[in-house]
Structure 1
């Protein structure tokens, strides 16, 4: 029998693979397509996948994997399964995990809507979700927390790009080039996460969802940088490759709340 936490671990691995595919396609589109083709980020890549034979089925599987990945990140935020501790650095990392869980749940929602053929699915989904959050009580606070979490996550991504600390969570059997691909990918992701996080904070401050930028819009905002834009786009493509590698070689702790200590599931 496979217990529930084991199922979440395998869903998380599917989520890593889906994340890899999204960033791989997004980086490719940014480098080769028009500005309008990457305006919505993940939604644009999901529409590409939806157009292939059996695309809706692929998207439903992708959505399930993204939900599993989000649950894994949520467990890391709430139960500290990654053992970040209670220092300010540890708490910052856990807030970042919470923001990551929210982002990937939004991606899963977008993939499901596109697969189901919902009208306008994937179009400016970030602003739509932000608008929904702002309509609920304390919505500005919640949006601000997610924005702050993404900024913290961006700082951690940048730190990982310098120190390659992410390799502590990757099996020694991973390909030798994993470290350098991961460094380039984390650096590029730090840039776009910082732009998205800052847009969420601005949106929470002024109470207007139009301030929110999607992953695609964050990339497009860098187009005037010339070489810098191409480096970030290439870095996102490399992050996709890194995510596909980690789907196989990531060391994933048990996502269940620790009862008699933590165990790590390695393959």
Structure 2
């Protein structure tokens, strides 16, 4: 009988597959229709085609993936280490966890028949600008997002993402180039999005902020299609990770035992 840690690991793999499906949908929409979307928009698109059962499965996967990423940030499950690079990777894992928990919430809302506004970036920026020191907060967020974009490009060049795969798959050229193209495309998207956010902060106008959909739409043809092909590669690589990524179990059972003892 599987314990809680094993069940979470299986659901996390579903989460990787869900992430892959979202990025493949984003790439498909750009390449075939010219429509720019972000993961939230792709979630709506897949939900319309697959119905509530598919959304429920995706929500479970996204929830598990989000928990797994947050656990990695807190407990260093992926063994990043305590140096500056390791701390940065754990912070990135935490941010990724929060994003995927937000996507889980959106999937649940879609199951309930409530569509999101599609303006989460703009709304979040508006909230930040209303806080004391709001401009500085938004500008700092833009700089962090720029750093994340650069980090993605570095990963694309160095191929460090391959260390998480089973060695036999990591050596395959097709897997390497799917990952490189995907991380490079994501890096470019994050850098463009950081520009939007920086402009929103400096001009104190939340309408200037934009996420992945706005970044893709901002790119001129054929650059947008090239980036979409890269995102397709990331989607395929995510599916590969769903099956062949080496996952370290989250110590769910021991944590529960400590709480209940």
TM-score normalised according to structure 1 size: 0.81
Give, in angstroms, the shift of residue 198 of structure 1.
4.5
* Partner in structure 2 of residue 86 of structure 1: 82
- Worse-superposed segment, 240-249 or 70-79: 70-79
* Partner in structure 2 of residue 15 of structure 1: 15
Kindly indicate whether residue 169 of structure 2 is the aligned counterpart of residue 171 of structure 1. Answer: no
Distance in 2 separating the partners of 1:71 and 1:145: 26
Distance in 1 separating the partners of 2:40 and 2:101: 13
Distance in 2 separating the partners of 1:163 and 1:23: 22
**The one of 30, 43, 46 aligned to 1:46:** 43
Kindly indicate whether residue 116 of structure 2 is the aligned counterpart of residue 121 of structure 1. Answer: yes
- Worse-superposed segment, 158-167 or 141-150: 141-150
Give, in angstroms, the shift of residue 249 of structure 1.
0.4
Higher helix share: 2
* Partner in structure 2 of residue 262 of structure 1: none
* Partner in structure 2 of residue 102 of structure 1: 98
Query: Does the 8 Å contact 1:92/1:149 carry over to 2?
Result: no
Give the root-mean-square deviation of aligned CA atoms: 2.8
- SS class of match (2:167): coil
- SS class of match (2:242): helix
| 1:140-162 CA distance string (max 9 Å, x none) | 78766765554333222211211
Distance 1:49 1:125, change over 3 A: same
* Partner in structure 2 of residue 160 of structure 1: 155
Kindly indicate whether residue 42 of structure 2 is the aligned counterpart of residue 67 of structure 1. Answer: no
Task: Output aligned runs, 1:25-36, within 5 Å.
Answer: 25-34=25-34
Provide structure 2 residue ranges, at least 5 long, that are not aligned to the other structure: 255-261
* Partner in structure 2 of residue 185 of structure 1: 182
Kindly indicate whether residue 236 of structure 2 is the aligned counterpart of residue 241 of structure 1. Answer: yes
Give, in angstroms, the shift of residue 210 of structure 1.
2.8
* Partner in structure 2 of residue 229 of structure 1: 224
- SS class of match (2:169): coil
Distance 1:216 1:164, change over 3 A: same
Which entry has the higher C-alpha Rg, 1 or 2? 2
* Partner in structure 1 of residue 259 of structure 2: none
Distance in 1 separating the partners of 2:131 and 2:58: 29
Distance 1:246 1:95, change over 3 A: same
Give, in angstroms, the shift of residue 199 of structure 1.
3.9
Query: Does the 8 Å contact 1:95/1:149 carry over to 2?
Result: no
Give, in angstroms, the shift of residue 250 of structure 1.
0.6
**The one of 185, 210, 214 aligned to 1:213:** 210
* Partner in structure 1 of residue 193 of structure 2: 196
| 1:161-202 CA distance string (max 9 Å, x none) | 111111110012438221111111111111112233444455
Distance in 1 separating the partners of 2:143 and 2:32: 32
